[in-house]
Amino acid sequence: MRKYLRLRDRAKQIALALCLFALGAPSAIAQTTEEPPAPDPAAIIAPNHKPGFYVFATGEGIWFSTDLVEWAYSGQVFSQLPQWARSFVPGATSYWAPDITLYRGLYYLYYAVSTFGSQRSAIGLAVNQTIDPSDPTYNWQDRGMVIESTSIPFGPNFNAIDPHLVIDKDRQWFLFFGSYWSGIKFIRLDPRNGKPFRDSRIEPVAKRAPEVSPDAIEGAYVFRHRDFYYLFVSWDMCCAGLASTYKVAVGRSRSVAGPYVDRKGVKMLDGGGAIILKSNSRWIGPGGNSVLHTSGEDYIFYHAYDAENLSLGEVLRVSPISWSSDGWPVVGPPLQ
């Protein structure tokens, strides 16, 4: 049920790139490219670093660009998953769907650990003072597990993957997450440690319509534009080459906690969502997105298959976002 049908092959490619990068050897994946393999890209601009954009992706690879077109491999987060993650999720070899946020001089990286088709999943947190691997102070400090779900019968009906940290205008912290197993949730976090308060509750925020089976929704990302928070989610099947049906849908709310509604006023908790990005003849299965505001422009970062070169797997796409007169995102063509 879980989306990573091709995780082992992609992990092998990324592992090879990591090895070649460490050895200083030339590699197509480690050189500048317009189509880096970057499933579930999380984008950020890093102040006080070399100017440009960083993208963190499933498999622990980091990519860097100065123009959003050409990308260079920039390193990794962990040499191997932390011990707690390997113990809690046997068989996991790298993290999935990272999320990166800068808050008061510290970078917070939330990441998921799971295996295909399993609800035995966990979300972890690592922090760093820099995200530039060439900086001598570069050092990710793992803070361990944030939240977990299990496959125990009658256990929690959610899946602890695809994390996304949202800090609202009042500096309250929310962690959005979820995939299948009843959809997207959030939980409130304590800014002092980046983990849930003792009395935090898991709250539902979006799911598919009752007639959709399975509950194919994941990859939540919240972006604030003017008076609204916009919840971007990925629908349907990821990571199956030309058979992928992934697409991006969106709803909005005046509160981070929702309720989120689509353009027709249908709540996302009732299956609502306005599709803003889907396959075309060239780019197949777009999704797993993040959104970034820079220099007066908004961009959506996502992965998709290139129908002209499927061997690359899911590659990074960047498209500009404009806004309709009634305040809804409109995705333009990729920058390259």
Active site residues: 40, 218
Residue 107 CA to residue 109 CA, distance in Å, equals 6
| Chain centroid to CA 286 | 13
Q: How many angstroms from the chain centroid is the CA of residue 310? A: 21
- For residue 144, the surrounding DSSP H or E stretch is strand 141-149
Collapse the DSSP code of 56 into the 3-class scheme (helix H, G, I; strand E, B; otherwise coil) and give the result.
strand
One-letter identity of residue 156? P
| Edge-to-edge order in the sheet of strand 283-294 | 283-294, 297-306, 314-323, 329-331
Residue keyed to tokens 């409109």: 330
233, 219 Cβ separation under 8 angstroms: yes
**Residue in this structure with the two tokens 């790139």, named with its chain if needed:** 17
